[in-house]
Amino acid sequence: MSHSLSEYLHENRDRFEKELGEFLAIPSVSTESRHSKDVEHCAEWVGEHLRRAGVGTVEIVKTDGKPIVVAEHIVNPDLPTLLVYGHYDVQPVDPVELWESPPFEATVRDGCVFARGSNDDKGQVHMHIKALEARLKTGVGMPVNVKLVIEGEEEIGSVHLEAFLRENAQRLACDAVVISDTGMLGPDIPSIGIGLRGLAYLEVFVDGPSGDLHSGSYGGAVVNPALALAEILTALKDESGRVTIPGFYDRVRPITDEEREALNALPFDEDEFRAETGAVSLGGEAGYSTLERLWYRPALDVNGMISGFTGEGAKTVLPAHARAKVSMRLVPDQDPNEIAELFSRYIRDLAPDGVRVTVKALHGGWPWAANPESPLFDAAAAALKRAFGREPVYVREGGSIPIVPLFEEIFEGPVLLLGFAPPGGNAHAPNEWMSLSDYHRGIETIARLYDEVVHRGV
């Protein structure tokens, strides 16, 4: 990396952090309709800052949902083209009372910035903007073409992205896709993502009496919807922690000896991981290690449930309704649509007499595993090694980025997951944070990646 580039990155650290703070201050919660103006404003902010960075063309594309920011910086059509994907929308902040500083007020403590979106994904989107700026403002220039697609619906299932990508496949044509929306295995351990779990997210509704009843006058003779829901949820797993939905594991790839060896070689500290969660102990499907459970095995979780009276005191009601949000993390080659269907059918089978049970699919996404043979992975490894001073590790991610397999299919090129989120970074939880040192090393990595891609190819 040229001297002027290093200098620019160094001299502009404070300004970069200040601008990141501005970006994080916009409450771009895509799932909450009351924030729809904020989401739109956030798209404008991203577009404006790409323009200021010197990116050739920038457009805010309207969709039937949230706008998509599309930008292009074409140096020479004969050079390799990278398509960068990210999202500027964020998760809701509740329970807001558990935040130690306001979720939309970037607050630095111990070298880390705390705010909703700091690592998922605004902080990482910002690294790409700043890497481009550094190359363009210093006159070092770009050795590759870059296109960017920064969407505002990732946290609600990227509803309009697929149609947009397919309709604009020509315009967005590229040699490889770069996505920075994943995490690092540990502090100071640069990581390249080679797998993601998929998702099937549904809601189960149990309806009993037409209204809440007096639990004294009716208790014992009317089926309790909360208990019926509890029974249904309990029946979804057996005693060994395996999901009991018929056919659930049919398409799950067994873990190979090679994969198991690679996992065992990783610097993963299970005690530290447990401590990070705050749980008294870890647990899951019998016969698998923690990393196997997270990366190679599907999982089923209740994300939320509610029934009856949950306020202060003791109200003696027999609730009319109960509902639970249930999501399953999927691994290759599970099909999210098939799993949603198997789940719904099984729930209907489990429904006890005396209540009506319905299921609604909320969203889904495919699991994905990379082919790390591509030279793009060498390029990324080289860039990371230079910025972090050590070899990267190859990791999977328990979470889902449903559009990753989509990009691979549409653009017929490799997808690189170049993620900088810290482990225990509280994405989707209160007190989300990002290490500022990783933020700056991320910018440097991206600024170097362009050169490495030219040297090594994609």
Active site residues: 89, 154
Q: Does residue 256 belong to the site contacting a second copy (CB under 8 A)?
A: no
Q: Does residue 337 belong to the site contacting a second copy (CB under 8 A)?
A: no
> In this chain, which stretch among 80-88, 375-383, 398-406, 440-448 interacts with a second copy, using CB under 8 A?
398-406
Q: Closest approach of Cβ 350 to a second copy, in Å?
A: 11
Q: Is 102 exposed, middle or buried (0-12, 13-18, 19+ CB in 10 A)?
A: middle
Q: Which of 210, 257, 261, 373 binds a second copy (CB under 8 A)?
A: 210
Q: Which is nearer to a second copy, 227 or 454 (CB)?
A: 227
Distance separating alpha carbons of residues 84 and 446, to the nearest angstrom:
11
Q: Does residue 397 belong to the site contacting a second copy (CB under 8 A)?
A: yes
Q: Closest approach of Cβ 214 to a second copy, in Å?
A: 4
Binding-site string for a second copy from residue 411 to residue 440, where x marks contact by CB under 8 A and - marks none = ---------------xxxxxx---------
Looking at residue 455, its amino acid is H
Nearest to 421 by CA among 14, 112, 28: 112
Q: Contacts with a second copy in 217-236 (CB under 8 A)?
A: 217-224, 226-227, 229-231, 233-234, 236
Query: How many Å is the maximal CA-CA distance in the chain?
Result: 80
Distance separating alpha carbons of residues 415 and 407, to the nearest angstrom:
7
Nearest to 403 by CA among 444, 367, 361: 367
The residue whose two tokens read 């299919």 is 409
Binding-site string for a second copy from residue 118 to residue 157, where x marks contact by CB under 8 A and - marks none = --------------------------------------xx
- Cis ω on the peptide bond leading into residue 333 (within 30° of 0)? yes
Q: Does residue 285 belong to the site contacting a second copy (CB under 8 A)?
A: yes
Q: Does residue 237 belong to the site contacting a second copy (CB under 8 A)?
A: yes
10: left (phi over 0), alpha (psi -120 to 50) or beta: alpha
* 146 close to 81: Cβ distance less than 8 angstroms: yes
29 φ/ψ angles, rounded to the nearest 5 degrees:
-85, 105
Q: Does residue 271 belong to the site contacting a second copy (CB under 8 A)?
A: no
Q: Which is nearer to a second copy, 217 or 264 (CB)?
A: 217
Q: Which is nearer to a second copy, 344 or 431 (CB)?
A: 431
Q: Contacts with a second copy in 84-123 (CB under 8 A)?
A: 91-92, 94-95, 98
Q: Strand runs (DSSP E) across 46-126, as ranges?
A: 57-61, 68-73, 81-87, 107-109, 112-114
Strands 81-87 and 176-179: what pairing?
parallel
Q: Contacts with a second copy in 304-333 (CB under 8 A)?
A: 304-320, 322-325, 327, 329
Q: Closest approach of Cβ 278 to a second copy, in Å?
A: 2
For residue 378, what are the CA distances in angstroms to 374, 391, 452? 7, 11, 8
Site size with a second copy, rule: CB under 8 A: 100
Q: Which is nearer to a second copy, 102 or 352 (CB)?
A: 352
Element (H, E) at 200: strand 198-207
Q: Which is nearer to a second copy, 155 or 451 (CB)?
A: 155
Q: Does residue 215 belong to the site contacting a second copy (CB under 8 A)?
A: yes
Q: Does residue 363 belong to the site contacting a second copy (CB under 8 A)?
A: yes
